[in-house]
Structure 1
Amino acid sequence: MIAPMIAMLPTPALPAPPVDGRQSERALAIARGVTRLLAALDFAVVPELQLPSGRRADLTALGRDGRLWIVEIKSSVEDFRADRKWTDYRAHADRVLFAVAPDFPAAILPGDAGLILADAHGAEIVREGQAGSLHAATRKVMMLRFARVAAGRMTLLVDPGAIGITGL
């Protein structure tokens, strides 16, 4: 009798990325376009992933082959100039990329980082940027963090009242 009861439960709507009030509408639109691009490239994406350093990456992408990319979204020149935490992301990813709107003055972004132009409908990688290779222990920590956060968020979709889920 459990199956008929499950069938009667309402189906939750697909979630928007976690929003903590810091993201502008422009940043959310860029994130949506980048997420679409990364999904088309066969990456799984987790927005707002807390890193072992305590920082939060705007988008963390995991490739089928275990590659980890961190995408830092910049919605304005002021946002870029005020926030220099992105340099710490190199310790947690094989590649760091900036994602900006097409009208952003990309020349001010560091040349060794990747560059994605995006809007709410899609995105394009303009520059791949410098690739690195994570230490095996760091890769393991990041992959476990990615998996647990993704699974925890899915659990909360199925049961918003679930308790004991931390680190989301």
Structure 2
Amino acid sequence: MTDDLLLPGQRLARGVCRLLRSHDFATLEEVVPRPGLRVDVMALGPKGEIWVVECKSSRADFMADHKWQGYLEWCDRFFWAVTTEFPVELLPEGAGLIIADDYSGEIVSTGPLDALPGARRKALTLKFARMAALRHHGLRDPRV
């Protein structure tokens, strides 16, 4: 897909995924940990850690999000990802911060670690693996 067809949040998510890949994380965009929640980026680290990143491309995008607190129980660390123009003073405390653009970014702060219970980590890791495999298969064989 060309850049001009991507929405601002999708371009920001791409930059976040590239950044996290440089830190040895595997990433998936638009993951549904449970019905009614869709996280922008879920990342699986080399030690099994799970990070969730919510990408906000504008003030209006942030103000319209009323579900982000529901994401906290689905990750070890939660991050906001915003552009350099975003008014970061709007962001709630207690989360990590990533400043990114369409192509990369920087982890400004990691926020607190809130380790997932073992059963939830296992279930999320399995969901992540299956989603990645199914998406890969869909790219290789789109008619299935």
Structures share fold, TM-score greater than 0.5: yes
TM-score normalised by length of structure 1: 0.80
User: Mapping of 1:1-168 within 5 angstroms?
Assistant: 25-162=7-144
Cα distance in 2 for residues equivalent to 1:84 and 1:100: 17
Cα distance in 2 for residues equivalent to 1:149 and 1:121: 24
The one-character-per-residue Cα deviations of 1:90-110 (angstroms, maximum 9, x if unpaired) are 110000100001110101101
Letter in structure 2 aligned against 1:126: V
Any runs of at least 4 consecutive aligned residues in structure 1 with deviations exceeding 6 A, and if so which?
A: none
- Consecutive unaligned residues of structure 1, counting only runs of 5 or more, are 1-14, 163-168
The alignment-based identity, stated in percent, is: 44
- Consecutive unaligned residues of structure 2, counting only runs of 5 or more, are none
Larger radius of gyration: 1
Question: Which deviates further from its counterpart, 51-60 or 89-98?
Answer: 51-60
* Root mean square deviation of aligned Cα: 1.6
TM-score normalised by length of structure 2: 0.93
The one-character-per-residue Cα deviations of 1:13-65 (angstroms, maximum 9, x if unpaired) are xx79xxxx9xx622122111111100000000000011124311100000010
Question: Which deviates further from its counterpart, 126-135 or 60-69?
Answer: 126-135
Length, aligned pairs only: 142
